[in-house]
Structure 1
C-alpha cells in the first residue's frame, strides 16, 4: 500500500551508516525547488557594490528589515489565512530561535518583577529550556512544565502550535494573566489544517520550516505592542547588529514564489508539501502497525482546512514515537544506528523520542527498515 509491504529486512542494517534524525534538518522539499518550473525562479544575483549598509529603513522600528521582505511576509499570510498582520510590527531575526530569545528579553525587561518564570507544557520544544537557561539571565528563569506551575507572580508561557515534538494543537495552560509567546513554526497547511487566522500579541514564524530553507536563517515575529517590538530590536541589535540582507533577499524571492504558487494548483508548494509529509506519515504508521504493539504514535483529529477547502488531518514535521514497554527508546534505536531526540529533553519520559519527518528520502526509508528489525532481532544474526 505504501511501498513497504514487500520490504525485506536486511541483515546488513547493523553495518549501515548512522542515521541522524535528531537534527530536524528540513531537506525533504528540495525536489520541489529543483524542479524545472521552480529552479530558475528563485535565482538571486547581488552586485558586489550592493547591500553594504547596516541599514534598510532608519524610520522603521526594525531598522534592518527590508521593506520587500515585510511585504512578502504579509502577502503570504494573507494568501494562507493563518495569521493577522494588520496593525503589527514585523521584527526579522536570524531564525525564530533568536526571536524567541529577543521576545524573552523584551517581556522580562519591561516587567517590574524579575526574574520572570518561563514555562511550557510537557512535552515541549527542548530548545526552550536551553534558551532560557543558557546565559543564566537575571531577567527570567526556566520553571519547567506549565501544567504543574503554581508559583505566584508574573510569568511567560511558551505555546507551540502545532506542538514540537508531538504535533498537537496547543493553547495556553496557566491562564493567570501572564504573557504568552506563540510559536507558529508549523501552522502552515502542509502540516495542519488552517482552521482560523491566529491573532495574538507575539507570534513567531520561521522560514526554515515553511519550505525547508533552514540555511538562510530567517524568522519573523508579528508584534502588537511597539514597546515590545523596540525591545526585541534592541536585543537583536546588540546580539547580531541586525540580519543579513542577502538572506532577506533570498527569503523574499522564495516567499513571493510560495504566494504565487497558491494561485496555481499544478505548482502549489503547499499541496506538494502536504502530499509529501502525508505519505511519510502513512508509511510510518504502516511500519508501526507491522511491529505489533511495541510502538505508539499520536492520533490527530480531522478538521476543516480553510486553505484547502476540505477536511484533513495533521501531519507534523516530527513524530512523537513511543515505546509501550518501559524502555529507553533513544538507546534502543541507537543500537540500530539511529539517532533521535529523547523524550527527557522535552520534559517527558525516556520511552518517547522525537523523529524528524523532513529529512532526506533515503534516511527516512532506512529508518523505517531498521524500525521493522526491532521486532525481528534475529535478522541481525
Structure 2
C-alpha cells in the first residue's frame, strides 16, 4: 500500500469524484439559469394580444433589487414606473438606425426650414398624438397653425422661450423679470443679461415680465391659469408637460401662444432627452430655434427617430382596431398604476395618524376618457404635521427618504415633493415607511 501512487489513493479518488460532482452541478445551474433568463425575456417581449390587458407590476424585478434598508431617492422625477409597459410592448418600439444614417447636421426637411434640425416624421408623430388625445390645438381648424420647435428636453425650451421673449426688449427693461406662482417648479435659469428670476408671481408688481404657467403644476399637481394679467408687455409661457390623461382630465384643447411638452412625461423615456414647443408667432419660434442652435447646434436626430417610433406605438393603440396583436394602451396602464399608488399613499398617510398630509384630491370630466376622472399627479406634495418638525426634507432623510424640500419651490419647508413615478419596489418601501410613523397619543386617551 505504501508504494501505491498518490493519485490512485482512496482520498485522491474521492477528491476527483467531488470535483466532478461540483462541475456537473455548476453546469446544471448554468443551463437552468440560461433557460430561465431566455424564458423571462420571451415573456417580457412577447406582444400583448389584448390592448387592455393588465401588465404585471413586477415584471422587471429580475433586473432590479432593493434592500429593505435602502435609501429611497425620490427627489427627481425619474419615470421608471413605465419600464414594465415598454417591456411588454417589446420589439414594436424598437428603432434600428443604420450606421450610414443621420450623419448630417441637417434634417431631411433641409436647411431652409424654420427648425433646420427637426426631423419631419417626428413632428408628424407629435401632432398626431396631440390630435388623438385632444390636449393641444395643433391644426388650423382648431385655431392653431403652430410652428414646431424641437429641443433637448423641456428645460432647454424654457431657456429658449425666455430668450426669445426678452432678447429684443429695451435696454432699460433688461433683464426682464421671470415669475411663476408658488409653489413653482424651480427652473434653473442660465446666466443671462436678457432675463432674471424674480420669484413668486403673486408677490410681483410691474408690467414688463415673463410668467411661467405650469399646469398641471409641478410640484402640487394643481390646474392653473396665469396668476397675473397679461396686459401691457407681459408674456406667458405655458408648461403643459403633465397635461396628459394619465395625470389629469383633458378638458380643453390648449391654444396658448407658447406651449411646452416633453417625451419623458408622456412615455417615461427621460434618457432620450426630447421636448417640443408649439409656438404661435413665427418670429418667436425663429428666435427659439436660434437659441437651440447656438447652445447645442441642434437636437440629436437619433433621439428624434426613436421618439417617432415610440409615439407612433402610443397613437396606434388608440387609432387601430382593437384586434388581436394590437399594442397595449399607455395611458390606461399609467393611469391605473398611478391611481393604485395614490390610493396606497393616501392610506399610508391616514395610517400615520396625523404625522403627514397630502394635497386634496380633485377630479373633472375628461374629454379623452369620456368620463369623470380623479387627478393622479406625477408628484405628491407631502406636508409633515408632526410637532417640532420644521424641515420635512431633513426629517424624511432620517427615514432614508430623499425628497426635494418645499423651500426650493418657493413654498413651506414643512412640505416636500415626492416622485410618484419610481419603480414599484421603491414606492412600496416608501408607503411602508410613511405608514410606520405615527404621532404618539397621550396615555390618557387609551382609556377611551
Alpha-carbon deviation of 1:14?
A: 11
What is the CA–CA distance in structure 1 between the aligned matches of 2:160 and 2:362, rounded to whole Å? Answer: 34
TM-score (norm 2): 0.78
Of residues 126, 139, 150 in structure 1, which corresponds to 2:194? 139
Worse-matched range after superposition: 356-365 or 299-308: 299-308
- Matching residue of 1:168: 222
Higher relative contact order (CA 8 A, sep 6+): 1
- Matching residue of 1:50: 101
Alpha-carbon deviation of 1:372?
A: 2.0
Of residues 153, 163, 167 in structure 2, which corresponds to 1:105? 163
Of residues 116, 135, 148 in structure 1, which corresponds to 2:203? 148
Structure 2 spans left out of the alignment, 5+ residues: 1-65, 140-144, 441-448
Alpha-carbon deviation of 1:141?
A: 1.3
SS of structure 2 residue aligned to 1:41: helix
What is the CA–CA distance in structure 1 between the aligned matches of 2:223 and 2:361, rounded to whole Å? Answer: 9
What is the CA–CA distance in structure 1 between the aligned matches of 2:168 and 2:81, rounded to whole Å? Answer: 40
SS of structure 1 residue aligned to 2:393: helix
What is the CA–CA distance in structure 2 between the aligned matches of 1:312 and 1:74, rounded to whole Å? Answer: 25
TM-score (norm 1): 0.91
On the 8 A contact 1:24/1:356 being kept in 2, the answer is yes
1:194 is aligned to 2:194: no
SS of structure 1 residue aligned to 2:238: strand
Of residues 409, 417, 422 in structure 2, which corresponds to 1:359? 422
What is the CA–CA distance in structure 1 between the aligned matches of 2:251 and 2:356, rounded to whole Å? Answer: 30
What is the CA–CA distance in structure 2 between the aligned matches of 1:288 and 1:301, rounded to whole Å? Answer: 17
On the 8 A contact 1:341/1:354 being kept in 2, the answer is yes
Of residues 285, 288, 293 in structure 2, which corresponds to 1:237? 293
Of Structure 1 and Structure 2, the greater helix share is in 2
On the 8 A contact 2:355/2:437 being kept in 1, the answer is no
Cα 1:60–1:125 change in 2 (3 A) is same
What is the CA–CA distance in structure 1 between the aligned matches of 2:278 and 2:169, rounded to whole Å? Answer: 20
1:123 is aligned to 2:183: yes
1:96 is aligned to 2:159: no
SS of structure 2 residue aligned to 1:220: strand
C-alpha offsets along residues 96-119 of structure 1, whole Å, 9 cap, x if unaligned? Answer: 000000001110013233211100
What is the CA–CA distance in structure 1 between the aligned matches of 2:341 and 2:153, rounded to whole Å? Answer: 26
What is the CA–CA distance in structure 1 between the aligned matches of 2:255 and 2:204, rounded to whole Å? Answer: 25
What is the CA–CA distance in structure 1 between the aligned matches of 2:284 and 2:298, rounded to whole Å? Answer: 17
Of residues 113, 118, 138 in structure 2, which corresponds to 1:65? 118
SS of structure 2 residue aligned to 1:53: coil
1:338 is aligned to 2:401: yes
- Matching residue of 1:6: none
Of residues 328, 332, 336 in structure 2, which corresponds to 1:271? 332
On the 8 A contact 1:218/1:248 being kept in 2, the answer is yes
What is the CA–CA distance in structure 1 between the aligned matches of 2:185 and 2:381, rounded to whole Å? Answer: 12
What is the CA–CA distance in structure 2 between the aligned matches of 1:69 and 1:92, rounded to whole Å? Answer: 9
Alpha-carbon deviation of 1:296?
A: 1.0
Alpha-carbon deviation of 1:324?
A: 2.1
Structure 1 spans left out of the alignment, 5+ residues: 1-12
Which of the pair has more CA radius of gyration? 2
Aligned residues: 357
C-alpha offsets along residues 154-177 of structure 1, whole Å, 9 cap, x if unaligned? Answer: 100001000000000010001142
- Matching residue of 1:3: none
- Matching residue of 2:15: none
Of residues 304, 314, 323 in structure 1, which corresponds to 2:375? 314
- Matching residue of 1:220: 276
SS of structure 1 residue aligned to 2:90: coil
